[in-house]
């Protein structure tokens, strides 16, 4: 099965795909993106992802692109690749123009996509939990807009790997816990689940929203509220949520065990509920 790319309407082998050197996404980070995963050949929460993509484009004052155009490209890539469990990366930049900080008007956007098999979280990590470090949040002030400006995320992730950990958690100057490098974060204390409220400081995660809905349906007490590193370290359970992350427990943060240092029952239950929803065909 081939790994394919879509570039402005043309599908090709991924190694042949290129964009012009004066693409503003390349030179200025002037672009937005989404990543959508499929289960059994069907795309999970596709319209929610496209809602967020369109919101990101509005925040950057991009011209509108018909959703039907994006969906046709996704369908074509999916059919030609044939992956039952795939990830599609969608990136839209403002377009190509001679390099200038000021925005050149009326240039067509660059629309690119790639499709590959999903790189699953290792089963051992799912069963035994992951580890993390905390890092100072140096990202730009609009983390709620899903742009390609991910250098701080990339450096934080590498910092975690260099520290023999799996991920990094961003923490503000005031000690408020934000989220992971590519995921949202929940803590469990007693019967209470807590996650950072939706502000400009975190991404409005699609899986985060699904998990919030699942918690309410399952009568789990969940709230959106600020909390600091002391609450993180003192939690009974901590887990990350994301499109590929799904629900991933953290059992150690900054070399401090979370709870008893093992994957907890709430994390396991929510992962089971999420996976059941996805595999049952409750897809868009």
Question: What is the rounded (10 degree) CA torsion for 48, 54, 55, 56?
Answer: 110
At 157-188, the pLDDT tens digits run 999 999 999 999 999 999 999 999 999 999 99
The pLDDT assigned to 284 comes to 45
The pLDDT assigned to 123 comes to 94
The conformation of residue 37, written as its DSSP 8-state character, comes to E
The pLDDT assigned to 282 comes to 46
Query: How many residues belong to the chain?
Result: 284
Determine the CATH number of domain 4-117: 3.30.470.10
81, 110 contact by CB (below 8 A): no
Nearest Cα to Cα of residue 56 among 128, 162, 143: 143
From 146, 209, 216, 256, active-site residue: 146
Instruction: Kindly state the greatest CA–CA separation across the chain.
Output: 57
pLDDT over 70 (residue 281): no
* Domain assignments of the chain as residue spans, ordered by start: 4-117, 123-279
Question: What token pair was written down for 132?
Answer: 């993390």
Confirm whether 4-117 and 123-279 share one CATH topology.
no
pLDDT over 90 (residue 2): no
Fold of 123-279: D-amino Acid Aminotransferase; Chain A, domain 2 (3.20.10)
The conformation of residue 139, written as its DSSP 8-state character, comes to S
Distance CA 53, CA 279 (A): 24
Alpha helices in 61-205 (DSSP H): 67-81, 123-128, 151-162
Distance CA 88, CA 4 (A): 10
Q: Is 7 left (phi over 0), alpha (psi -120 to 50) or beta?
A: beta
Question: What token pair was written down for 177?
Answer: 């816990």
- Average pLDDT over the chain reads 96
276 belongs to the catalytic site: no
User: Who's near 72: CB < 8 A, 6+ residues apart?
Assistant: none
* Distance of alpha carbon 199 from the chain centroid: 16
Give the whole-number percent of the chain exceeding pLDDT 70.
Answer: 98
The pLDDT assigned to 273 comes to 96
pLDDT over 80 (residue 280): no
Helix H or strand E encompassing 134: strand 130-136
Distance CA 201, CA 199 (A): 5
- The label of the residue with tokens 């049952």 reads 280
Helix H or strand E encompassing 267: helix 265-279
Nearest Cα to Cα of residue 140 among 131, 148, 132: 148
Distance CA 263, CA 186 (A): 14
Predicted model pTM = 0.95
Q: Which residues pair with 186 in a beta bridge?
A: 195, 239
At 10-64, the pLDDT tens digits run 999 999 999 999 999 999 999 999 999 999 999 999 999 999 999 999 999 999 9
End-to-end Cα spacing for the chain: 24
């Amino acid at each position: 099965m081939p790994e394919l790319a879509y570039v402005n309407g043309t599908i090709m082998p991924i190694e042949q795909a290129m964009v012009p050197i004066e693409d503003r996404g390349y030179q200025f980070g002037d672009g937005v993106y989404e990543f959508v995963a499929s289960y059994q050949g069907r795309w999970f929460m596709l319209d929610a992802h496209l809602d967020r993509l369109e919101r990101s484009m509005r925040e950057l004052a991009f011209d509108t692109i018909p959703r039907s155009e994006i969906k046709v490209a996704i369908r074509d890539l999916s059919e030609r690749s044939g992956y039952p469990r795939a990830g599609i990366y969608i990136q839209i930049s403002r377009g190509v123009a001679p390099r200038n900080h000021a925005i050149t008007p009326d240039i067509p956007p660059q629309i690119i996509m790639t499709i590959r098999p999903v790189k699953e979280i290792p089963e051992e990590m799912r069963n035994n939990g992951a580890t993390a470090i905390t890092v100072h949040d140096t990202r730009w002030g609009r983390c709620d807009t899903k742009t390609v400006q991910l250098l701080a995320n990339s450096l934080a992730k590498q910092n975690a790997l260099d520290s023999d950990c799996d991920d990094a958690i961003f923490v503000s100057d005031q000690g408020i816990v934000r989220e992971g490098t590519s995921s949202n974060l929940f803590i469990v204390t007693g019967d209470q689940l807590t996650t950072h409220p939706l502000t400009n400081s975190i991404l409005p995660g699609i899986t985060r929203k699904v998990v919030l809905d699942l918690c309410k349906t399952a009568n789990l007490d969940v709230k959106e509220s600020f909390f600091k590193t002391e609450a993180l370290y003192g939690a009974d359970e901590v887990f990350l949520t994301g499109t590929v992350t799904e629900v991933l427990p953290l059992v150690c943060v900054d070399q401090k065990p979370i709870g008893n240092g093992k994957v907890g029952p709430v994390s396991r239950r929510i992962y089971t509920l999420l996976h059941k929803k996805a595999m049952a065909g409750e897809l868009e």
